[in-house]
Structure 1
């Protein structure tokens, strides 16, 4: 398997993970990976589209940032996402980022519309998620399809340098150095949103973890936080 084929297989698996976690039900959502200064691999919609849960490596196509084929036949009947500008704007503005996830997790949307921010309400339950939330998860306040550069730049401005931004009435965008990390960040944000809704529904009050407890949370390292966690997500697909 070539390096390009391996990356396409990874992105296809990541799309199935998003669907398996309920973050990308149906046909909406996409993942991209920077390949060069002006090309990316991205999940496209093909002639046999069945949804993210059934994404195959063939659904991952190599295109230029403007959406054109990066090589003759690179699209071969596939269509790039309408929101390709979302991916491109993040990659252009964030040299530290290689992978972008855009998904539509219903519980994240519901929590935001209910006025519930993503905050560090958990501790050792999800250490990476707690630390991500403690840094703040901003919100892009427009529920629009991000299909042009102007809207994409607005989203990036709202995102600032954070790993995740919520898109009001829409979903979220997660950015990271790897596809695995970008997906796992989205999973963590979704988990906190679900807990927040459950706590509020039970009549509880949300409270951030104390500074003392945050300081006690160890960094278990990428081998555990990303490596082992990703193995689990892939294993879930076969369960």
Structure 2
């Protein structure tokens, strides 16, 4: 991969970090995104000498490391530190060949909905079709509110994730996966949307009811050009 290719990918991951923060899924200085480069290396959002949080992520904050968190080239990590929870990313990438991007965020609504026992359920329909399908497929919960800072804990989380697209981390946050950066980020936004609406329904005195299977089957697939490409352009436009 050329330096120019890497530069474009650094920009992509940096923009994705800013999208998450702008959406309220990564307030402050917590959260990170990784992107598989090859079998042994990945780009990951690191903390640098001018750390200001995800909303202000720059391409320089996205560093190339191996699956053990070591610099791939001399000087790559000078002034930067990899996330404490790097194993959260690398264990997913080691285990799931279908995943190229891992997103870890701390969305308050997702944490609150889980702690309230609401879960991420297919309670909506055409409001967010990809989100409905994701919820209908199931969003499991990793029940430990710990910092996933080693392979042992990361393996537990990966077991909870299974073959799903997302896993809620109890009292902690959310991990989502994707075949690319836009997909993983948009999935995180969809999970947050379902969580927010679920909380709103309960606060209003309502009862959550899953969408009938007949209605789920009736929802059309609007295609990647709409679900991913157009939606991603919108997210980029929102951050300017």
User: Paired residue for 1:32?
Assistant: 34
Q: Select 2:185's aligned residue among 183, 186, 193.
A: 183
User: Paired residue for 1:59?
Assistant: 61
TM-score scaled by structure 1? 0.99
TM-score scaled by structure 2? 0.98
The gaps in structure 2 that reach 5 residues or longer are none
Q: Select 1:233's aligned residue among 220, 229, 235.
A: 235
d(CA) in 2 for partners of 1:214 and 1:42?
Answer: 36
d(CA) in 1 for partners of 2:90 and 2:170?
Answer: 20
Question: Can you list the C-alpha shifts for 1:176-211, whole angstroms capped at 9, x where unaligned?
Answer: 100100000000000000000000000000001111
Give yes or no for the alignment of 1:142 onto 2:116: no
d(CA) in 2 for partners of 1:177 and 1:192?
Answer: 22
CA RMSD in angstroms, aligned pairs only: 0.7
d(CA) in 2 for partners of 1:14 and 1:50?
Answer: 16
Q: What's the CA shift for 1:146?
A: 0.1
User: Paired residue for 2:70?
Assistant: 68
- Secondary structure of the residue aligned to 2:127 is coil
Q: What's the CA shift for 1:222?
A: 0.6
d(CA) in 2 for partners of 1:178 and 1:207?
Answer: 32
User: Paired residue for 1:159?
Assistant: 161
Q: How many residues align?
A: 238
d(CA) in 2 for partners of 1:36 and 1:130?
Answer: 32
Q: What's the CA shift for 1:36?
A: 1.1
Question: Can you list the C-alpha shifts for 1:32-70, whole angstroms capped at 9, x where unaligned?
Answer: 000111110000000110000000000000001111101
Q: What's the CA shift for 1:130?
A: 0.2
User: Paired residue for 1:209?
Assistant: 211
Question: Can you list the C-alpha shifts for 1:13-34, whole angstroms capped at 9, x where unaligned?
Answer: 0000000000000000000000
Give yes or no for the alignment of 1:221 onto 2:223: yes
1:188-199 matches, within 5 Å, as 188-199=190-201
1:72-111 matches, within 5 Å, as 72-111=74-113
- Secondary structure of the residue aligned to 1:80 is coil
Q: Which runs of 4+ in 1 moved over 2 A?
A: none
d(CA) in 1 for partners of 2:222 and 2:214?
Answer: 18
Q: Select 2:6's aligned residue among 4, 7, 11.
A: 4
d(CA) in 2 for partners of 1:173 and 1:118?
Answer: 13
- Secondary structure of the residue aligned to 1:126 is helix
d(CA) in 1 for partners of 2:213 and 2:113?
Answer: 24
d(CA) in 1 for partners of 2:105 and 2:128?
Answer: 20
Question: Can you list the C-alpha shifts for 1:55-105, whole angstroms capped at 9, x where unaligned?
Answer: 000000000111110111111210000000000000000000000000000
User: Paired residue for 1:46?
Assistant: 48
Q: Select 1:125's aligned residue among 124, 127, 132.
A: 127
User: Paired residue for 2:19?
Assistant: 17
